[in-house]
Structure 1
């Protein structure tokens, strides 16, 4: 979906929720192959059975990338990702867990370029039981509404 929103159109407190997506073994194997992260916490079911969680854990970077993709449901030609801050992996995601993403506009602030502003979006990746798996801030640089002459 495409929508045109300028900096002035965002309101702190706005929230949206994605639909769910189940993390599969194939997701974990593919992510390991793409990143080279074959750490046993993700790949070795027998070893994981001897550890506190008793099962394989999805890569934090997998949960992050899937979650951000799920949150990117709107294309805004006046906004561009400026980066991410305060990324934390709160609870593990396991094979078979279904995640969804709550995105909340947390803050707006000026940018050094007077024709743009920063919109800070709080991203929360939730598991099927509503426990928090991941949290971060997504920073968007957004064009200000053109002045009428």
Structure 2
């Protein structure tokens, strides 16, 4: 991981980054179920899922969310922190053995409503695809970012 100071003024709409792939394993699903208590049969019961339209176990949406966001966290920016996530959509199921890739693109910058001289918000569209290029999840990652002017 590298540390880079990127202030609100340094970030441009259209900035984009891509990750390498990450294959989802049965262990990922089992560990996530244990951590969250979500043992729903869609994730845990291979025999039952064989009788369902998906035909096999699917990864938890929250697992894919966690992994995808983690995949974009390779660069540490001390001037920014996560403010939240909006419009999370699990578009298609992710199965054991699928490899996901993530692209993240800055789509919007807005002023902080109460302290615009100190902070701004950066909106990043995060798109997760599988090995076939199918979109499996999308969300907007919101960052609260320090303004360079405020630190001077």
- What range is the shorter-chain TM-score in? over 0.9
Task: Give the SS at the match of 1:87.
Answer: strand
CA RMSD for the aligned pairs?
1.2
Q: How many residues align?
A: 149
Q: Which ranges of structure 1 fall in alignment gaps of 5 or more residues?
A: none
Tell me whether 1:138 sits opposite 2:141 in the alignment. Answer: yes
The answer for the alignment partner of 2:74 in structure 1 is 73
Q: What displacement does 1:146 show?
A: 2.2
Task: Give the SS at the match of 2:75.
Answer: coil
The equivalent position to 1:116 in structure 2, one of 96, 116, 119, is 119
| TM norm structure 1 | 0.97
The answer for the alignment partner of 1:19 in structure 2 is 20
Query: For residues 26 and 92 of structure 1, what CA distance do their matches in structure 2 show?
Result: 17
Query: For residues 137 and 126 of structure 1, what CA distance do their matches in structure 2 show?
Result: 15
Q: Structure 1 segments of 4 or more deviating over 6 A?
A: none
Query: For residues 106 and 15 of structure 2, what CA distance do their matches in structure 1 show?
Result: 5
Cα distance change on mapping 1:37 and 1:147 into 2, 3 Å = closer
Q: Which ranges of structure 2 fall in alignment gaps of 5 or more residues?
A: none
| TM norm structure 2 | 0.95
For residues 75-133 of structure 1, the C-alpha deviation after alignment (integer angstroms, 9 at most, x for no partner) is 00100000000000000000000001100001000002121000000001110111101
Correspondence 1:1-149 to 2 at 5 A: 1-112=2-113, 113-114=115-116, 115-146=118-149
For residues 44-87 of structure 1, the C-alpha deviation after alignment (integer angstroms, 9 at most, x for no partner) is 00000000010000000000000000011110010000000000
